[in-house]
Homo-oligomer: A and B are copies of this chain.
């Protein structure tokens, strides 16, 4: 746990240039998600309070600092992005029937499935309203297109699930949709709302995309590496529910036939095969596949940093560079 706490402080230090603005997101989210149904209200408040790292709004704010920084314009859109992220987590948990997220009970634990779907829809809807409040149609459109990418990614993950053969290209496409698309949108929207020149808009979008890819690769590594306590959910959950991620893809490249069949049994299986899954997770770990996956994440982070080469040497540039390192070095 001490490692987590250290990283946590570090993240706070990295995001210092926009810390005050990030805090305001919570107020916006609380004010916009008030509904008549105490049970749903309570659940949504808990989700919002549980928070998460507020990385996407942070990136939006930082990306806007290189040009005209107008908080009033930026705030609704940052809140929209965080809320959209939250809504996707609610639907993810519904679809996975997950009972825990970030160590806290999900909406599924006290609402039936239909209500959880509707609660997710409601958060989507509220995020869409927020996205129209910055007054710039182009930003709203980037936001909506990120939503489409996320939905495509969810469908892709659903259909790819329980299939052993996932190419690296399909994996990249899936994690782009699942994670990088919204990071890319956050950075691009920050650029657009600050009236950045078009080359900066492109660079910042690319920054967001690559750091998002790094984040998701690390998430997929941590899913295998971290303990249940650190994750707030069972370790190796992806593999156990049939989702093949980068470490498994790398492991399969050099696996023997019998090792491959073991993975297939877990991935395609209906039951959990807990013993076999644990054995395979240990083998993946011993094979060096996690380290190879780390290399991939480092490459994405390095590419993110490169996009900022021509940017002025400001604290916000340093924050974005540090964030790319954090994406790879974090342990939670």
Within the assembled complex, what's the spacing in Å between the Cα atoms of A145 and B113? 24
Partner of A94, one of B37, B117, B143, B152: B117
Residue in chain B with minimal CB distance to A133: B141
B91 with A155: CB separation less than 8 A: no
Decide: B152 and A122 in contact? CB cutoff 8 A.
Answer: yes
A131 lies within 8 A of B144 (CB): yes
Give the shortest distance, in Å, between A185 (CB) and chain B (any CB).
Answer: 12
- Does A124 belong to the interface (CB within 8 Å)? yes
In the complex, whether A67 has a CB less than 8 A from a CB of chain B is: no
Task: Find out whether the CB atom of B115 lies under 8 angstroms from the CB atom of A144.
Answer: no
Report A212-226 residues with CB < 8 Å from chain B CB: none
A46 an interface residue at 8 Å Cβ cutoff? no
Q: A141-B132, A144-B131 are in contact. Are A121 and B156 (CB under 8 A)?
A: no
A5 touches B (CB below 8 Å): no
The verdict on A155 contacting B115 (CB below 8 Å), with A141-B132, A141-B133, A144-B131 known, is yes
Q: Does A135 contact B (CB under 8 A)?
A: yes
Known contacts A129-B144, A133-B141; is A121 also within 8 Å of B124 by CB? yes
Q: Out of B36, B118, B125, B145, which one reaches A147, CB within 8 Å? A: B125
A283 within 8 A of B: no
Establish whether residues A113 and B115, one from each chain, have CB atoms under 8 Å apart when the complex forms.
Answer: no
Set of chain B residues within 8 Å of A91, measured between Cβ atoms: 117-118, 121
Min CB distance A304 to B, Å, is 26
Q: Tell me the residues in window 83-134 of chain A with beta carbons closer than 8 Å to chain B beta carbons.
A: 91, 94-95, 113-115, 117-119, 121-122, 124-126, 128-129, 131-133
Check A148 against B126 for contact (C-beta < 8 Å). Answer: yes
| Chain B proximity mask over A27-42: 1 for CB below 8 Å, otherwise 0 | 0000000011100100
A154 at the interface (CB under 8 A from B): yes
| Set B118, B133, B135, B155: member contacting A151, Cβ < 8 A | B118
Give chain A interface residues in 126-169, CB to chain B under 8 Å: 126, 128-129, 131-133, 135-137, 140-141, 143-145, 147-148, 150-152, 154-156, 158-159
Given contacts A118-B158, A144-B132, contact A125 B151 (CB under 8 A): yes
Whether the Cβ atoms of B159 and A121 lie closer than 8 Å is no
State in angstroms the CA–CA spacing of A305 and B147 once bound together: 38
Contacts of A159 in B (CB 8 A): 37
Least Cβ–Cβ distance between A9 and chain B, in angstroms:
36
Residue of chain B at shortest CB distance from A146: B125
* A positions within 8 Å CB-CB of B: 35-37, 40, 91, 94-95, 113-115, 117-119, 121-122, 124-126, 128-129, 131-133, 135-137, 140-141, 143-145, 147-148, 150-152, 154-156, 158-159
Q: Can you list 7 residue pairs at the A/B interface with Cβ under 8 Å?
A: A35-B152, A36-B152, A91-B117, A119-B155, A124-B147, A124-B151, A132-B140
In addition to A35-B152, A121-B124, 18 A-B residue pairs with Cβ atoms within 8 Å of each other are: A35-B155, A91-B117, A115-B155, A117-B117, A118-B155, A119-B155, A124-B147, A128-B143, A128-B144, A128-B147, A128-B148, A129-B141, A129-B145, A131-B144, A132-B140, A132-B144, A135-B137, A137-B137
